[in-house]
Amino acid sequence: MPNGDIGIRPQSELSWSRKSANIMSNVAAVGAAALVLLPLGAIFVYLLMKGIGSINIAFLTQTPKPVGEPGGGMANAIAGSAMILAMASCIGVPLGIGSGIYLSEFGRNRFGDSVRFVADVLNGVPSIVIGIAVYSLVVVPQKHFSAFSGAVALGIMMIPTIARTTEEMLLMVPQSIREAAYGLGISQWRTTISIALRTATSGVITGVMLAFARVAGETAPLLFTAFGNQYWSHSLNQPTAALPLQIFTYAISPFEEWHRQAWAGALILIVLIVGAVTAVRVVAGRGMVRASN
pLDDT surpassing 80 at residue 285: no
- pLDDT value of position 99: 96
pLDDT surpassing 70 at residue 46: yes
Angle of CA points 287, 290, 293, to nearest 5°: 150
Tell me the pLDDT band of 159, cut-offs 50, 70 and 90.
very high
- pLDDT value of position 71: 84
Q: Are 64 and 74 in contact (CB under 8 A)?
A: yes
- pLDDT value of position 111: 95
> CA torsion, points 94, 98, 99, 103, in degrees to nearest 10?
160
- pLDDT value of position 7: 53
Q: Are 134 and 153 in contact (CB under 8 A)?
A: yes
pLDDT digits (tens, 9 = 90+) for 164-217: 999 999 999 999 999 999 898 999 889 999 999 999 998 999 999 999 999 999
- pLDDT value of position 9: 55
Tell me the pLDDT band of 282, cut-offs 50, 70 and 90.
confident
**What's this model's pTM, rounded to 2 decimal places?**
0.88
- pLDDT value of position 8: 55
Beta bridge partners of 227: 240
For residue 25, CA distances in Å to 11, 33, 47 come to 21, 12, 34
Tell me the pLDDT band of 291, cut-offs 50, 70 and 90.
low
User: To the nearest 5 percent, what fractions of the chain are helix, strand and coil?
Assistant: 75, 0, 20
Best CA proximity match to 200, nearest among 92, 93, 104: 104
- pLDDT value of position 67: 84
User: What's the sign of the alpha-carbon dihedral 232, 236, 139, 85?
Assistant: positive
- pLDDT value of position 234: 86
Give phi and psi for 266, each to the nearest 5: -65, -40
pLDDT digits (tens, 9 = 90+) for 225-272: 999 999 999 899 999 999 999 999 999 999 999 999 999 999 999 999
Mean pLDDT of the chain: 90
Give phi and psi for 240, each to the nearest 5: -135, 140
Provide DSSP, 125-158.
S-HHHHHHHHIIIIIHHHTS--HHHHHHHHHHHH
- pLDDT value of position 17: 76
3-state secondary structure 186-232: CCHHHHHHHHHHHHCHHHHHHHHHHHHHHHHCCCHHHHCCCECCCCC
- pLDDT value of position 1: 47
- pLDDT value of position 60: 95
Beta bridge partners of 240: 227
Give phi and psi for 62, each to the nearest 5: -110, 160
- pLDDT value of position 283: 75
- pLDDT value of position 104: 94
What is the enclosing helix (H) or strand (E) of 11?
Answer: helix 11-51
pLDDT surpassing 70 at residue 42: yes
pLDDT surpassing 80 at residue 290: no
Domains of the chain by start residue, with CATH: 75-241 (1.10.3720.10)
> CA torsion, points 59, 65, 70, 71, in degrees to nearest 10?
-10
Please state which of the ranges 13-17, 56-60, 277-281 shows the lowest mean pLDDT. Answer: 13-17
pLDDT surpassing 80 at residue 69: yes
Core vs surface per residue 155-188: b (16+ CB within 10 A) or e: bbbbbbbbbbbbbbbbeebeeeebeebeeeeeee
pLDDT digits (tens, 9 = 90+) for 82-130: 999 999 999 999 999 999 999 999 999 999 999 999 999 999 999 999 9
